Chain A
Amino acid sequence: MTRTPGADLPDHPDFLWNDPEPKKAYDVVVVGGGGHGLATAYYLAKVHGITNIAVLEKGWLAGGNMARNTTIIRSNYLWDESSGIYEHSLKLWEGLEEDLGYPILFSQRGVLNLAHSLQDVRDSVRRVEANKLNGIDAEWVDTDGVKELCPIVNTSPDVRYPVLGATFQPRAGIAKHDYVAWGFARAAHELGVDLIQNCEVTGISTVDGRVTGVETSRGRIAAGKVALCAAGHSSVLAKMVGLELPLVSHPLQALVSELLEPIHPTVVMSNAVHVYVSQAHKGELVMGAGIDSYNGYGQRGSFHIIEQQMSAALELFPVFARAHLLRTWAGIVDVSPDASPIIGLTPVENLFLNCGWGTGGFKATPGVGDVFAATIARGKPHEHAEPFTLDRFTTGALVDEHGAAAVAH
């Protein structure tokens, strides 16, 4: 009997966490109730025994980029620094379902990053070798290998940008983003973390260069430590304490098709023509488009970006020609100059920063939760966070991952 796509999805959950009134004071206030904020609170409580925590969310839990990403998880970045944190994250993904006691539909179906030019091929092979040296599973596959792994890719030489090969990371894959957020939220709640929604931070209070709390739309909340996990709105929050960040916020769009029979066995990404596509468990094709060139906070992107993305997707996957587009949307991504994140301490004592993940923050969710929690608890950067300090833009020790970040910006 053939399995109905999506039949193994769990039922829609009952309430997994309560909706408390904010207390007057917390040991740690995490600003931003997305994946990173929830994971940070979870690991603070679980690993470091700090449970007097509030996660403040201006909208609803995991309704920002956590609800808007394309759920791709991989660790095949070029540099040692990136390999450190992304591979740490991938290892946590591999045990996350058991750790959280909640199904997250983590599916290690592999990711192909296509090469379309000789330079692409050289860069890709270099990245594969760099990955191998860092103990990350990676291989170079030629055009026939791509066809074998994903038969629906058009590998004909008669297209504008023929597929010359690809890097393949077998342990990469996708997960169900909502379940990931709910799993972290439920687990954090069980450990005593207060998850406070509809609570927008409007100010950050400091005394003598030390953070003392936050002003919110639901009143003042005192805090021993404040941790920012606000992705696209990080600049706005940092400005409240006069802190400038080297970030630009852009709308990044994605789209889904109607539900289709299982046809796409893996994840395919292409920097050159700008397509990344997978098929979710229920059957919809999930595709990512590019960022709008200009900055914006409107969670709405330009139509021509979608048009370009669709034309590229159709050339690579002619079989999608008659699929219907169901929905498009945008999230606000905070892009840093080197396409790497900023994690760590700030010039304001007890104010901690996690931002700059740009277009690729979802895959880092458990990894950054663990690393950022350790940074907050110890008051010094976790070893995997050390290369990603804010002062690298002054020292020049950039971690340039534009090549592996997969979304051109």
Chain B
Amino acid sequence: MQLIPCPWCGPREEAEFHYGGQAHLAYPEDPAALSDEDWAKFLFFRENPSGPHPERWSHSAGCRRWFNAVRDTRTHDLLAVYRLDEPKPVIP
């Protein structure tokens, strides 16, 4: 089973974690101003790269805290793990 390094608890089995999808998505600042296209983008369109992907995880069966990770979607390698208030790390 894949080990996921929780920034607070260290490496734990992936079954302890809950996946939260693409990271760094901000709720629209002025929702009333959004067009249908903008809403569609916000609600339904996500990055779906074959390669590094910044995403949210929750250690739901552990410390229950959320964090971000950059994972390579081809290999499932976790390239970086960082707190929600930290910027997306640069992956070489």
Do chains A and B interact in one complex? yes
- Inter-subunit contact B14/A304 (CB<8 Å): yes
Interfacial chain B residues near A244, Cβ < 8 Å? 41, 45
- Inter-subunit contact A304/B1 (CB<8 Å): yes
Interfacial chain B residues near A337, Cβ < 8 Å? 43-44
User: Does chain B have a CB within 8 A of A228?
Assistant: no
Give the total of B residues in contact with A, Cβ under 8 Å: 26
- Inter-subunit contact B14/A302 (CB<8 Å): yes
Interfacial chain B residues near A297, Cβ < 8 Å? 50, 73-74
Interfacial chain A residues near B73, Cβ < 8 Å? 249, 295-298
Residue of B44, B46, B49 with highest tally of chain A CB at under 10 A: B44
- Inter-subunit contact A298/B74 (CB<8 Å): yes
B-contacting residues, A204-256, CB 8 Å = 233, 235-236, 244-249
With CB as the reference atom, state the residue of chain B lying closest to A296.
B73
Give the total of A residues in contact with B, Cβ under 8 Å: 24
Q: How far is the CA of A394 from the CA of B1 in the complex (A)?
A: 39
User: Does chain A have a CB within 8 A of B91?
Assistant: no
- Inter-subunit contact B44/A294 (CB<8 Å): no
Encoded as 1 (CB less than 8 Å from any A CB) or 0, chain B from 14 to 37 comes to: 110011010000000000000011
Encoded as 1 (CB less than 8 Å from any B CB) or 0, chain A from 364 to 395 comes to: 00000000000000000000000000000111
- Inter-subunit contact A295/B14 (CB<8 Å): no
With CB as the reference atom, state the residue of chain A lying closest to B55.
A294
Majority secondary structure, A binding face:
loop
With CB as the reference atom, state the residue of chain B lying closest to A244.
B45
- Inter-subunit contact A394/B53 (CB<8 Å): no
Residue of A249, A295, A337 with highest tally of chain B CB at under 10 A: A295
With CB as the reference atom, state the residue of chain B lying closest to A301.
B76
B-contacting residues, A333-367, CB 8 Å = 337
User: Does chain B have a CB within 8 A of A15?
Assistant: no
- Inter-subunit contact B76/A298 (CB<8 Å): yes
Encoded as 1 (CB less than 8 Å from any A CB) or 0, chain B from 43 to 74 comes to: 11110111001010000000000000001011
With CB as the reference atom, state the residue of chain A lying closest to B38.
A394
Interfacial chain B residues near A249, Cβ < 8 Å? 48, 50, 73
Interfacial chain B residues near A302, Cβ < 8 Å? 1-2, 14-15
- Inter-subunit contact B18/A235 (CB<8 Å): no
User: Does chain A have a CB within 8 A of B40?
Assistant: yes
Known A-B contacts A294-B55, A302-B2, A337-B44; the reply to A233 vs B50 at CB < 8 A is: yes
Across the interface, A235 reaches (CB within 8 A) one of B36, B41, B48, B71, namely B48
With CB as the reference atom, state the residue of chain B lying closest to A235.
B48
Interfacial chain A residues near B75, Cβ < 8 Å? 298
- Inter-subunit contact A393/B50 (CB<8 Å): no
- Inter-subunit contact B14/A245 (CB<8 Å): no
Shortest distance between the CB of B26 and any CB in chain A (Å)? 17
Known A-B contacts A245-B48, A304-B14, A304-B15; the reply to A296 vs B36 at CB < 8 A is: no
Interfacial residues, chain A to chain B (CB-CB below 8 A) = 233, 235-236, 244-249, 293-298, 300, 302-304, 337, 393-396
Interfacial residues, chain B to chain A (CB-CB below 8 A) = 1-2, 14-15, 18-19, 21, 36-37, 39-41, 43-46, 48-50, 53, 55, 71, 73-76
Interface CB pairs A-B, < 8 A, 9: A246-B46, A249-B73, A294-B55, A297-B74, A302-B1, A302-B2, A304-B1, A393-B45, A394-B39
8 extra interface residue pairs, beta carbon distance < 8 Å, beyond A244-B45, A249-B73, A294-B55: A236-B48, A246-B44, A248-B21, A295-B48, A295-B55, A295-B73, A297-B74, A393-B40
Top 3 A-B pairs, shortest CB-CB distance: A235-B48, A246-B44, A293-B19
